Structure formats: C-alpha cells, structure tokens
Structure 1
C-alpha cells in the first residue's frame, strides 16, 4: 500500500484538516472506468460534469447531492418479454453505474439535463463575502488592542 505523509504541508497551512482524507481517497484504485465522463471548467467559477449516458432514458438517471457529495446513478429497466434481442455485436454497455464526486463547500449544483446522450450537471462556485480576498490596512500603533492590567477595576 502506498503511504503519503503530508506533515510538511501542514507546517505552513491552517484549516486543511480534511485534506488528508481527500488525498487518501484519491490514492485508492477504485476509480470507475464506466461510464466515461468529463469534468470541465468554464471561467473562474463555472464547472460542468458531462457523463456519457448513451442508451439511458431520463427516468433511468438519478442525480443527488448529500453532505457535499454529488452522486449520479443509473439503472437499466428490465426488458419486456416481447423484446427478445439477439445481439450480433453489443458495443453499448447500458449497465447500471454509480459515480460520486466530492464537492467543495462553496460549490452549488445549478441543474442537470440530458443532451445528445450526455448527462450535463452544471456547477457554480459561490464564494461568500467573508472568504473573498481583501486588503488589511496597516494602522501603525492605532490598531492595537488595549489591554488593562488585571489589578485595575473598571467602574461604570
């Protein structure tokens, strides 16, 4: 088993407690190869996941978000008895699948649509005001916190 120590990274970072879990899940070799999918970035805050879903109807696909995990599942319905098909070549798999994507806390799912055999899931990064970059003014000694000695009583 591969082990990766992230200790040097944590010396100069604060608040990346879940980073180790992300690396561990990325190191696992259980990445699905079916169905093929793309993760695309458009601009600074727009993302898209496109999953090849040829042969699946809209009602056979399911998109859920729970605890910041986007899960896309598909199950193929049972064929009717009348549709006895003998395949000479079957290149379209049409088998059930489950894909999961861990989303950042600022990523919101905007919607999903079926388009030309692709399931398109649109994502948007919404950065709250308190997480946006800001300039911190340097006020010299005026910005210091004033502390009072413990033996002085404050009268009101």
Structure 2
C-alpha cells in the first residue's frame, strides 16, 4: 500500500538546496546561471510547493494564482519518483481542483498533461526555447476533483 505524498510550501532552505537546482534543471532545462536567477527572482514572486524533507525537496510546483485560475510555471519530480503519482498530487493540490490550471509546455512534457486530463492546444513560441513546438494545457475543474484548500503554513500539509 503506497501513501499519498505530503505536499507542503517550499521555503528558503528548500529553494537554496542542490535538490531544488536539480529539479529546476528538469523543469526548465536551462543553464545553471539562469536557473539560479529563476530560483532567486522568479520563484520569489510565485507560490512554490513540493514534497520531500525540508532542505531536500523531491518535487516542485511553482505557480501563480489568478482570479480566473492557476498558472503553473514550473513542475518537476525527481527522476526516481516519476510514475508514482507525485506530479498528479502536485497538480491536484494547486487549486484544490476548484479552479482551472493552465500550463505551457513542449513535446517533452505534453504526455504528462494529457495523462492528467488537461485539454491540449497550440501555444505561441517561447524565446527561452527557440524552435520548440509549444502547447497550452488547460485542466478544467470538475466537481469530483474539488478538495477544499486551506491556508498552508510553511511546514504543514497542503492536502
């Protein structure tokens, strides 16, 4: 019997870890200098959740909550945990299933979003990844997905 991973807000110690750098490399595939900038500057403006012990995250989802839904900017799961449902748990946790979740991706990850019942359509090109086909992925809320979400203390459970 497997247990559902605990999703928590990631904090400074998590964001400064080598594990976070590795996860962001998986999520964005950019040079280390750019990844460090993203972690320091962009993630500071987003909500960032994940799994794993404090200081040693094993997954990350960075997103922005908007009035019309959630925009998922980055998501990654440690390679050894892929296929175990951690990515689904992260996506489910973002809005408690009550709001649309929107993400843009390329061929490398579009299958992940299809498996999670996202609607897939074309997206404009992204200058960070020139020459790559992009997709806009939208997961509409469904009544059976709704899990009420409460405020998340830094070291507490999201779901």
Which band: TM-score by shorter chain?
under 0.3
- TM-score, structure 2 length as denominator? 0.26
Higher relative contact order, structure no. (Cα contacts within 8 Å, ≥ 6 residues apart): 2
Query: Structure 1 length as normaliser, TM-score?
Result: 0.26
